[in-house]
Amino acid sequence: MTRQDLIALIRERRSFLCVGLDTDPAKMPAHLQGERDGVFRFNRAIVDATIDLCVAYKPNIAFYEALGLEGLRQLKLTMDYIHSLKKPVFTIADAKRGDIGNTSERYARAFLDPKGDFNFDAITVAPYMGADSVQPFTVYDGKWVILLALTSNKGAFDFQLSEGREGTPLYQRVLQTSKQWGNEDNMMYVVGATKADMLADVRRIVPGSFLLVPGVGAQGGSLEEVCRYGLNGDCGLLVNSSRGIIYASNEMDFAEAAAREAQKLQQQMAAVL
């Protein structure tokens, strides 16, 4: 999905919500636990209930890998289902990959290749290994690399906020350096909602780029704060909520409950747009 198509979708749905499909079988409703294709059936119900309220889905790949080959089959079923719908939606493999150049090429193929098993629009990538680990993700037309800049966890303080010789935190050097590797049409950044005030610093360096913002809800981030510092003229935000939506209920009404929570966020977003 191109930048223009994404912006149009945000305007049409009056939403910049990304729903995190971090599906944990133990937290699914009892009637789906242990059922064949239970994870897929859970995801399908969440997608059906939320697709008019959001613009993106973001499965965190770890949740599927933890279930072994069978989990990855559930992920494929989920992606096949999303692709089978006639409704446009942006899909993000939250995979946090990155390796030397010829190896990153293979991760790019695994997640972004239109002929591959998943065909995501975007993938999250860790910057530690530098240019050649990131650039292979930028070569697919209409596909995106979403580079980790400032994450929402406590560990972000260990290195991301450590200052270089000239006093600039590492995450800002990542933002600055990465502008040589991609552009506003193929690169976004992860900036955690739990550090919303730092979005102003992020915006000084990448004013026009889209930001994927996790951490709203369960992790404590505030949508209002994120919008105050992060919005730009094209919206420029994808705000993710996972647990707050998909586990809003673990009863038979889980999909309706997810829709209600998604709608609350969508309405706040519509008011801002």
Angstrom distance (rounded) from CA 185 to CA 196: 24
Q: How far is the CB of 166 from a second copy (least distance, A)?
A: 9
List 158, 224, 251, 256, residue binding a second copy (CB under 8 A): 158
36 to each of 28, 40, 71, 74, 224, how far by Cα in Å?
A: 13, 9, 11, 10, 40
- Closer residue to a second copy (CB): 171 or 269: 171
Is residue 101 near a second copy by the rule CB under 8 A?
A: yes
Token pair, residue 18, equals 């990304």
Token pair, residue 138, equals 């930028």
Angstrom distance (rounded) from CA 241 to CA 185: 24
Active site residues: 96
Is residue 80 near a second copy by the rule CB under 8 A?
A: no
Sign for the CA dihedral angle at 259, 264, 269, 271 comes to: positive
Is residue 159 near a second copy by the rule CB under 8 A?
A: yes
The string of DSSP codes covering 28-92 is S-GGGTTSTTHHHHHHHHHHHHHTTT-SEEE-BHHHHHTTHHHHHHHHHHHHHHHHHSSS--EEE
List 15, 43, 78, 104, residue binding a second copy (CB under 8 A): 104
Q: How far apart are the first and last CA of the chain?
A: 21
Near a second copy in 114-153, by CB under 8 A: 116-118, 126-134, 148, 151-153
Is residue 96 near a second copy by the rule CB under 8 A?
A: yes
Is residue 167 near a second copy by the rule CB under 8 A?
A: yes
- Closer residue to a second copy (CB): 103 or 232: 103
Near a second copy in 47-76, by CB under 8 A: 60, 62-63, 65-66, 68-69, 72-73, 76
Is residue 272 near a second copy by the rule CB under 8 A?
A: no
Strand partners, 18: 56, 240
> Residue 36, class by beta-carbon neighbours within 10 Å (0-12 exposed, 13-18 middle, 19+ buried)?
exposed
Count of residues touching a second copy (by CB under 8 A): 57
What is the contact surface with a second copy in residues (CB under 8 A)? 22, 60, 62-63, 65-66, 68-69, 72-73, 76, 94, 96-101, 103-104, 106-107, 109-111, 116-118, 126-134, 148, 151-160, 162-165, 167, 170, 173-174, 177
